Structure formats: structure tokens, C-alpha cells
A and B are shown apart, each in its own frame.
Chain A
Amino acid sequence: MRKLFLPLTIAAAGMFMAAPFLIDGAPYESTMGLVQKIFYFHVPSAMTMFVSAVVCGVASTVYLFKGRPSADRLAVAAAELTSVFGVIVLVTGPLWARKAWGVWWVWDERITSTFVLWLIFNAYLLLRKYGGAGSEKLAAGLAVFGMANVPFVYWSVNVWRTLHPKTTVVPTLKAGMRGPFWFCVLAFLLFYVLALSARARLESRRAELEELYLDIEE
């Protein structure tokens, strides 16, 4: 991964620089017009948030059952990224909603459940930072709960009647919109992999530092 890190970073940077041009070339949506173009960052952010929540949950499960410290470090990294992408989703969504629905926020099922998911992973981070000894396992349990919420958040728009667009929007995208959308999804996921790798390395180096301090005390 280390050898690929720099070339992949350059590739991700290039993709993010190219994305605005592709988005600009995509056709306008017939009812929402220009504001619908927030979709090309909003939805990939949401998809990345869900992926990150699942990664955190899976890594936490491995840590709970196998006790591997590397799994715990990966879980911490994924939780932080879930929070970051969650902020992007929860800010870009209302900016779009203000024009599309006439309101900044509604407490509908998709939006509320996404907000709750974001709160769960923030709780994970707070627990890790301030929970003291033994908080790793408690936080891991919380992450598993958070991961279990992801399908509910995703399917909420199909099960309940909400203002939020349904999951059928993405599979039925027209050709002009499909290309830029999946390009942005790929860019976000590539960024995610790189950021996850870097963040997990930070946790690894912190663990090494702690061991060195323990060696000094001994």
C-alpha cells in the first residue's frame, strides 16, 4: 500500500479536479435545475459514509472476537471518516433541500436516521477519547450497533413515505448523469481508501509511541 499511496493520491487529486468539469457537462434535471448538481457530491458522500460505517463495524467485530489491535486501529480510522463524510452529507443535503423542498430540514425518515447514524459514530469517537481504559471494547460494541443501522437508513426511503428521493434514482440515471455520478463515487471511494490508510497508520504510530513510553517507565 505504501508504494501505491503516492500514485493513488495523485490519481485521486486528478479525479477531484476533473469532477467539476464532468458535473458541469451533465444535463440539468428538469424540475430542480442547477441545484440538483449537488447530487454529484451529496450521494457519493453518503455512499462513502455507509461504507465507512460498515468497515468500522466489521473491524470492531473482528476486534471484539479476535482481539486484534490492528482491527481496532482500523475501526477508529473508519469511525472518524464516517463522521467526516456524515458532515458533508448533512450539510450538502439541506443546501439542496432549501431549493428543492423550500425548507432547510425536515424530520423525515432518511434524514433523521442519517443524523442518528452520524451521532452514533460521534459517540464512538467521544468514547474512545474520553472513555478511559476498557473503552475500546465498549466503543466496538457501539460500532457494531451503528453498522446494523446502515441498512435501515438506506431502505428508509423505500419503506416509509418521505420527501427524500428513493433508492431507484441512482439505478435509473440517464446516460448524461450516470457517467459523472459514478466518476464522483469512484473519486470519493479512492479518497476514502487513502484517508483510511493514512489514519490507520496514525493510530499505528501512536500505539508504537505508547509502547516506547511503557519501555521508558520500565
Chain B
Amino acid sequence: MKRWWPLRLLGTIVLALVLSSSIAAAQPPTAAAQDGFVPVSRTAQQETIPSARLVMIAYGFAWVMLIGYLWSIWTRIGKVERELHDVSRRIKAGGR
């Protein structure tokens, strides 16, 4: 009986090792808290376009369109008036 106890002890140790390793292998792998830093290449534009900028662009554009249109009418009328004046002069000169 005394000769068998080292074998029993060895057997117990081996069994414990086998059981604990199998239990450890059955656990799901845990990710590292942070594998590394990932730089931000493109954030959502919603967070980066401020409202004030959009409002200013909208009003600025409307002003540019309205003033630009008035300017275009003014230049076109000026051109037609000059041409009218020239043609009227030619007709009067031709009529003499």
C-alpha cells in the first residue's frame, strides 16, 4: 500500500492539470482593453459642420443671388439703352 501513494499523487496532479487546462480552454477569448490607437480619418460631418456656418452661407448666398440679379438687369438695360441710342442716331443721320 505504501508503494502506491506516489503514483496516486502523480495521477491526481495529472488529472488536475488536464481538467484545469480544459476548463481554461473552454472560456471565450477576452480582447485586450485597447489593441492600439486608431486615428480619426473622417468623423461624421454632422458633428463637424456648425449651424452658424450653414446659416451664414445660406443668407450670404441669397444676398449674392438677389444683388447679382439686380446688377445683371442693370447692365443689360444699360447695354440695350446704349444700342437704342446708337441706332436712333443712325436712323436720324440716315434720314437727313
Query: A residues engaging B (CB < 8 A)?
Result: 16, 20, 33-35, 37-38, 41-42, 45, 81, 84, 87-88, 91-92, 95-96, 98-99, 102, 191, 195, 198-199, 201-202, 205-206, 208-209, 212-213, 215-216
Contact = CB atoms under 8 A, between A and B. Distances in A.
A99 B58 contact: no
Contact of A45 (B54, B62, B76, B91): B62
13 contacts: A16-B63, A34-B52, A34-B55, A35-B54, A38-B59, A84-B65, A87-B65, A88-B62, A95-B54, A95-B55, A195-B69, A202-B77, A209-B80
B71 to A, nearest CB: 11
Given A191-B66, A206-B80, A212-B91, A91 B51 contact: no
Nearest to A89: B62
Contacts of B74: 198
Given A88-B62, A216-B91, 20 more contacts: A16-B66, A20-B59, A33-B51, A38-B54, A87-B65, A88-B61, A91-B61, A92-B58, A95-B55, A95-B58, A99-B51, A99-B54, A102-B46, A195-B70, A195-B73, A198-B73, A202-B73, A208-B84, A209-B84, A215-B91
A91 B87 contact: no
B77 to A, nearest CB: 5
Given A41-B58, A91-B58, A198-B77, A209 B65 contact: no
Nearest to A192: B66
Nearest to A203: B80
Contacts of A45: 62
Contacts of B54: 35, 38, 95-96, 98-99
B3 interface: no
A199 B77 CA distance: 8
Chain B facing A: main interface SS: helix
Interface in B37-96: 45-46, 49, 51-52, 54-55, 57-59, 61-63, 65-66, 69-70, 73-74, 76-77, 80-81, 83-84, 87-88, 90-91, 94
A216 B58 contact: no
Contacts of A38: 54-55, 58-59
Nearest to A44: B62
Contacts of B58: 38, 41-42, 91-92, 95-96
